[in-house]
Amino acid sequence: MSNSTKYNIINKLKTRNPNEKVYVGNRVGDSKNLIIKSFNNNSQSSVLSYLRESSVNIEHKNICKLIDSFQNEDYSFVIREHIEGVDLQDFTNKQKYRRKANLEFYLKVFVEVLEGLKELHSQKIIHRDIRPANILLNSNSFDKEYFIKPKVQLIDFGMAKSEKLELIDNMAPFALIFSPPEQVLRFVDLTNETSDIYAVGMSLWITLNNKLPFNHQIPEVVANLQLTQNLPKTRKITQEVFNIIQKSTYKIELKKPPNKYSKIQLREMFIEAQKHRFQTADEMIDAILKIGK
């Protein structure tokens, strides 16, 4: 990897995937920190993650900027800007941060998330992994000014669906809890803008409640709950906000196990459900901005 000599590694970050490693580093001769992701070329899923991640090269305030990407015989690498801050999952899990926030702040955060999604969707890219852990709040101090005007960036594009990769990317990853039924059951062609919007609604519900709606030690049970249960109304969410969450996460609950339906039946239900969701990020932004007016 001739390009590897351009970068220094400073420290390793935690990752979910054993075939992918994430580091904080910098370019040789430059002290500015960068995020360096390495992907194992011996793993097909890891190679696809590299191709997806490196294909997302967008200049936008709500999208983590791509700096470089390259490969050698054993590993592939993606270099993105390093953003000081805390992801939304960590933010809500820590009392010292959470006690400063209110509904108005969280709605501002999700408007920024949707602005980033709008840009991705305009370039025919579906993120497919929107979740609080992939929403970065760009601040270390979280001062008063930040809560008035939060800076937010989407990160982690290793599951992104892109027209550029359509011919070689036939895998259909999904995220437990956050993905809609069409993604869980791997209807790749039906995973679209409304699928990302579904994940935004799930993320908003979880952020406001600071808990998961479907929780079980067995992943298969969680996936089944994703297919069969709608989100409950809680006291922590106002009716206005819950209406938005309901619309964004609309699905037709399966009354039987998925294998008891034909592929045609499932497809028809998923298409119908998507019609009831916000069709664009702009639609959901408009609905959020109308709250309290």
Output the pLDDT for position 293.
63
Q: Where are the domains of the chain?
A: 2-81, 86-289
Alpha helices for the chain (secondary structure H): 44-55, 88-93, 95-98, 103-122, 144-148, 181-184, 193-209, 219-228, 239-248, 263-276, 281-289
DSSP string for residues in 223-288 = HHHHHH-PPPP-TTS-HHHHHHHHHHT-----SS-GGGS-HHHHHHHHHHHHHHS-SSHHHHHHHH
User: How many whole angstroms separate alpha carbon 35 and alpha carbon 86?
Assistant: 14
* Higher local confidence (pLDDT), 94 or 293: 94
**Do the beta carbons of residue 51 and residue 61 sit within 8 Å?**
no
Output the pLDDT for position 167.
63
**Do the beta carbons of residue 59 and residue 65 sit within 8 Å?**
yes
Of 16-20, 42-46, 51-55, the least confident: 16-20
pLDDT over 70 (residue 1) = no
- Domain 2-81, CATH: 3.30.200.20
Residue 85 Rama label (left phi>0; alpha psi -120 to 50; beta) = left
**Strands of 20-27's sheet in order across:** 7-13, 20-27, 33-40, 75-81, 66-71
Reported pTM: 0.94
* Higher local confidence (pLDDT), 167 or 35: 35
Mean pLDDT, residues 236-260 taken together: 94
CA distances 184 to 22, 83, 207, 225, Å, are 26, 31, 22, 11
User: How many whole angstroms separate alpha carbon 134 and alpha carbon 80?
Assistant: 14
User: How many whole angstroms separate alpha carbon 190 and alpha carbon 181?
Assistant: 10
Output the pLDDT for position 242.
97
* Higher local confidence (pLDDT), 144 or 205: 205
Which two tokens mark 186?
């791997």
CA distances 7 to 27, 35, 74, Å, are 4, 11, 17
For residue 149, what is the DSSP state? S
Which two tokens mark 271?
């298409």
User: Cα-atom radius of gyration of the chain, to the nearest Å?
Assistant: 19
User: How many whole angstroms separate alpha carbon 163 and alpha carbon 123?
Assistant: 9
> Who's near 10: CB < 8 A, 6+ residues apart?
23, 24, 25, 26, 33
pLDDT over 90 (residue 19) = no
CA dihedral (176, 179, 180, 183) positive or negative: negative
Number of Cβ atoms within 10 Å of the Cβ of 107: 17
60: β partners: 63
Superfamily of domain 86-289: Transferase(Phosphotransferase) domain 1 (1.10.510.10)
Mean pLDDT, residues 98-123 taken together: 96
Mean pLDDT, residues 259-263 taken together: 94
pLDDT over 80 (residue 292) = no
